[in-house]
Amino acid sequence: MTTLTISRRQRGTPYIPRIEELGVSAYSIVNRMILPKGFRKTVEEDYWHLREHVQLWDVSTQRQIEIRGKDAAELTQLMTPRDLRQAKVGMGFYAPLIDGNAGMINDPIIQKLAEDRFWLSIADSDVELWAKGLAQGYGLDVDIFEADVWPMAVQGPKSDDLMAEVFGDAVRDIRFFRFKVLEFHGHPLLIARSGYSKQGGFEIYLDDWELGLPLWDALWEAGQAFNVSPGCPNLIERVEGGLLSLGNEMTRENNPLECGMERYCTLDGSLDFIGKDALLAIHEAGPKQMVRGVLFGGGKCPAASQPWPVKLNGQHVGQVTTCIWSPRFEQNVSLGMIKRGYWEAGTEVTVHSQDGEIRPGKIVSLPFPE
Amino acid sequence: MTTLTISRRQRGTPYIPRIEELGVSAYSIVNRMILPKGFRKTVEEDYWHLREHVQLWDVSTQRQIEIRGKDAAELTQLMTPRDLRQAKVGMGFYAPLIDGNAGMINDPIIQKLAEDRFWLSIADSDVELWAKGLAQGYGLDVDIFEADVWPMAVQGPKSDDLMAEVFGDAVRDIRFFRFKVLEFHGHPLLIARSGYSKQGGFEIYLDDWELGLPLWDALWEAGQAFNVSPGCPNLIERVEGGLLSLGNEMTRENNPLECGMERYCTLDGSLDFIGKDALLAIHEAGPKQMVRGVLFGGGKCPAASQPWPVKLNGQHVGQVTTCIWSPRFEQNVSLGMIKRGYWEAGTEVTVHSQDGEIRPGKIVSLPFPE
């Protein structure tokens, strides 16, 4: 951890006054916008709280890249191997976006707002520029822009009860990865059952800056009955849940098959998308590595700012990229890429952490067991 | 200022061990890589030092987007209104990159490495994705990637003397915005006379991570005779010099004409580039606003994390986006956009800073006077 300087370039969010009042302890930068990364509790206290109660997360950094116009469906489909041909308005799709070499560009949730209008809720890369470049080159009739939307996540097992207090029981009927438009202060808000945890919950797509504090305050006030807490994506819970992070577990060097996204890829040749030939060739040959968990000991590990080698009998068999102590396993949990031939669960390996330690561990299939 | 969390996603640089030994006090994130933003001296002490001596800056965040292949020159020219038709190998070109609406995408230095190979030394946006999207859509025969290059800047009036100690007198002959390839430890390095200050100096395009510390150490050791200091782009010097920052003074909402880049734009219709029609229409109508300095009082201002309104007789006539106390003017200096009809130097205005103060000021043409 170190100090971050702030300017207009590191964009703020509508929730910042409350975030600061509640004692935000650190930020990260995602998509050139600040992301709160901790409050007064430790990451372990937050982990237990998230698994039992409910939290409000400022995830405004999940920017919405809007693609609209006559060719919006065509362009959106070109950008992903996930089949959107049967997509209906009100559905969301977790989808790898790939380049011509099948390299990962992003892994957004694509939400279909209308037949000719999509939001791509992105991880940390400029999907807007990729989409604009494609549209310009292919001569497609679309408008592409970053919409003025600042998502707030409500996460944890008590999310339904809390959300129902503010939005009514209609939220309970929203199915996983579907969304509804519900009113708040007379303003329609897109609300999806989704979020960057495995504890259940919703994401509220706030599109009116002025409503940010009223929305936070309404959820906060109703949340007092449910032991609500400010929060953020929890590193322990994310790793145990096997949720990947673009820029950490996967980069442009990785393809969606090795990222465990085969079920989101159309591999029978029936669908046209950028990178199809490359992806089909990788599928034919079989991926050379696969995302896996590694559970390892040696005491609490430091944070990983670079990949750590994973070895078997001294031979390099992979790397882990996010590592943290799990109070539930009383060992370190991690995510990374393990080479073919070595990725079977239970394989015993060593993890070479950046503090110079050699730590005994074993391969775990994802998610980590409950 | 607040705390920044670190992961693989916030990429490090080869110089970090020395940066940390020398007491880095803050970082920023640019292009998903850390940028040192301060050391033990105050920004004012650094300002005076930069104007008198020489500094080493880790500007690895100035990523190099490499475009190479048969159609590299065609794609690079398509991306900018700056005329590259007469460009020769060894030349660098400060160039606006614009979209189809003439909105600013980036303002790199484009360096011509070979007839079919360019580096775009970028500010904070994913030019790689824009270029890749264009190449994919237009079906151009190019390879586009972020090259493994970590630039170090040597800035300040004693730069020539210091650089000559390490690279020989050949560096003295490098002309402004030209580059030469010189050897260090037997390894060829591209060295340009350029940098994000007005105090003169060089940028060394290190393309071998392992040479990072030897390069730093060689410059540091030779620099002892010249009162060398670790440094970074200095906010006071940058504002006074009229050097714009993408994401601060200019965004996708701005066009290069209002950013004061008319001299880098071909406006006679003889050159084809993306956004040509939009740019020519803006030129025909005349820009609606123009980048300007504003010198204002009211005591030391806070840092600006959002645009501050500039008013004349209570009427909104523009905004400033970067503001800082200047020890030389004993007033605050700032950069921003001022509307047509109000941008003449000397116009008296008020600046409405985010601490609620109303500060008297006047418009200044750029750069601020020496």
Query: Is residue A248 situated within a structural domain?
Result: no
Each residue's pLDDT tens digit, A31-43 = 999 999 999 899 9
Co-location of B338 and B358 in the same domain? yes
Query: A1 pLDDT exceeds 60?
Result: no
Q: Kindly give the pairing relationship between strand B117-121 and strand B109-114.
A: antiparallel
Q: Which residues of A touch B136 (CB under 8 A)?
A: 99-100, 133-134, 137, 274
CB pair distance less than 8 Å for B6 and A37: no
Chain B closest-CA separation from residue A163 CA (Å): 30
Find the CATH number of the domain harbouring B101: 3.30.70.1400
pLDDT average, residue stretch A358-370: 97
Residue B38, both tokens? 């301060």
Q: Are residues A81 and A138 in the same domain?
A: yes
CA closest to B125 among chain A residues:
A126
Residues B165 and B227 in one domain: yes
Q: What is the reported pLDDT for A2?
A: 66
Residue A293 lies in a domain: yes
CATH number of A22's domain: 3.30.1360.120
Closest CB to A126: pick one of B10, B29, B126: B126
Token pair, residue A61, equals 């950094």
pLDDT digits (tens, 9 = 90+) for B168-208: 999 999 999 999 999 999 999 999 999 999 999 999 999 99
Q: What is the pLDDT of residues B310-326, one digit of tens each?
A: 999 999 999 999 999 99
On chain A, the residues whose CB falls within 8 A of the CB of B106 are: none
A137 contacts B135? CB cut-off 8 A: yes
Question: Would residue B115 count as lying in a domain?
Answer: yes
Q: Which of A204, A238, A272 is the C-terminal boundary of a domain? A: A238
Structure confidence at residue B7 (pLDDT): 87
Residue of B nearest to A307 (CA): B8
- Enclosing domain of residue B340: 288-370
Chain B, residues 153-212, CB within 8 A of chain A, namely none
The region of weakest confidence among A32-41, A137-146, A149-158 is A32-41
**Touching check for A68 and chain B: CB below 8 Å?**
no
Task: Inform me whether the C-beta atom of residue A321 falls under 8 Å from chain B C-beta atoms.
Answer: yes
Partner residue opposite B7 with nearest CB, options A5, A27, A303: A303
Over 70: is that where the pLDDT of A107 sits? yes
Instruction: Look at residue A307 in the predicted model and tell me its pLDDT.
Output: 96
Question: Do residue A113 and residue A40 come from a single domain?
Answer: no
* Residue A7 pLDDT: 87
Cβ pair A5:B27 closer than 8 A: yes
CATH of the domain at A341: 2.40.30.110
> Which residue among A7, A26, A29 places its CB closest to the CB of B322?
A7
Query: How much is the pLDDT for B47?
Result: 97
Check B8 against A139: CB less than 8 A apart. no
In the chain, the amino acid numbered B104 is: M
Alpha carbons B166 and B206: distance in angstroms, whole number: 14
CA-based radius of gyration for chain A: 21
Residue type, B54: V
Q: Which residues of A touch B138 (CB under 8 A)?
A: 137
Closest in A139, A274, A322 to B7, CB measured: A322
What's the pLDDT score for residue B274?
Answer: 98
Nearest-by-Cβ selection for A8 from B12, B100, B306: B306
pLDDT digits (tens, 9 = 90+) for A232-245: 999 999 999 999 99
| Average pLDDT score over residue span A10-31 | 94
Tokens coding B312? 């004349």
User: B159 and B35: one domain?
Assistant: yes
CA-based nearest residue in chain B for residue A139: B137
DSSP for B201-256, written as a single string: EEEEEE--GGGHHHHHHHHHHHHGGGTEEEE---HHHHHHHT---BTTTB-TT--T
Beta-carbon separation of A248 and B8 below 8 A: yes
What's the total number of domains in chain A? 3
What is the identity of the amino acid at B101?
A: N
* Mean pLDDT calculated for residue range A300-322: 96
In this prediction, residues A6-24 reach a mean pLDDT of 93
B5 is a domain residue: no
State the average pLDDT over residues A127-138. Answer: 98
pLDDT for residue B1: 47
How far is A161 from chain B, CA to nearest CA, in Å? 32
> If you average pLDDT over residues A101-115, what whole number do you get?
98
B137·A137 Cβ contact <8 A: yes
Indicate whether B137 and B123 sit together in one domain. Answer: yes
Residues A180 and A39 in one domain: yes
The mean pLDDT value of chain A amounts to: 97
Report the residue from A12, A131, A248 with minimal CB separation from B133: A131
Task: Give the number of other Cβ atoms within 10 Å of residue B262's Cβ.
Answer: 14
- Give, as one character, the DSSP assignment of residue A291: E
- pLDDT for A66 equals 98
Q: What is the mean pLDDT of residues A211-221?
A: 98
**Structure confidence by residue, pLDDT tens digits, B280-318:** 999 999 999 999 999 999 999 999 999 999 999 999 999
Axis crossing angle, helix A159-167 with helix A212-223, rounded to the nearest 10: 120
DSSP secondary structure letter of residue A327? T
Quote the percentage of chain B above a pLDDT of 90: 98
> B143 CA to chain A: closest CA distance, Å?
11
B132–A137 C-beta distance less than 8 A: no
Task: Please check whether residue A366 is in contact with residue A338, taking contact to mean a CB–CB distance below 8 angstroms.
Answer: no
The predicted complex's ipTM stands at 0.95
Q: Say if residue B167 is in the same domain as residue B54.
A: yes
Residue B29 shares a structural domain with residue B169: yes
Measuring CA to CA, which residue among B141, B99, B77, B137 is closest to residue A137?
B137
Q: Does A263 fall in a domain? A: no
Is B8 within 8 Å of A125 when comparing Cβ atoms? no
| CA separation for the pair B28, B17 (Å, rounded) | 17
Q: What per-residue confidence (pLDDT) applies to A250?
A: 97
Asked whether residue B274 is domain-assigned, the answer is no
Interface test with B, best of A13, A34, A136, A246 (most B CBs within 10 A): A136
Question: Between A2, A133, A246, which is nearest B129 by CB?
Answer: A133
Per-residue pLDDT averaged across A337-355, rounded? 97
Residues B47 and B155 in one domain: yes
Q: Do B135 and A139 touch (CB under 8 A)?
A: no
Could you report the per-residue pLDDT of B11-64, keeping only the tens digit for each? 999 999 999 999 999 999 999 999 999 998 999 999 999 999 999 999 999 999
- Identify the domain boundary among B119, B147, B175: B147
Residue B232 and residue B345 in one domain = no
Res B2: pLDDT: 66
B337 reaches A (C-beta below 8 A): no
Residue B110 domain flag: yes
DSSP secondary structure letter of residue B264 = G
A157 and A55 share one domain:
yes
Structural domain includes residue A87:
yes
The last residue of one of the domains, among A100, A123, A147, is A147
Question: In chain B, positions 267-296, which contact chain A (CB-CB < 8 Å)?
Answer: 274
Is the CB of residue A148 less than 8 Å away from at least one CB of chain B? no
End-to-end Cα separation, chain A, in angstroms = 30
Q: What's the gap in Å between the CA of A4 and the closest CA on chain B?
A: 5
- Please check the confidence at residue A57 and state whether its pLDDT lies above 60: yes
Weakest mean pLDDT among A1-10, B100-109, B256-265: A1-10
| Beta-carbon separation of A247 and B32 below 8 A | yes
Cβ of A4 within 8 Å of Cβ of B2? The answer is yes
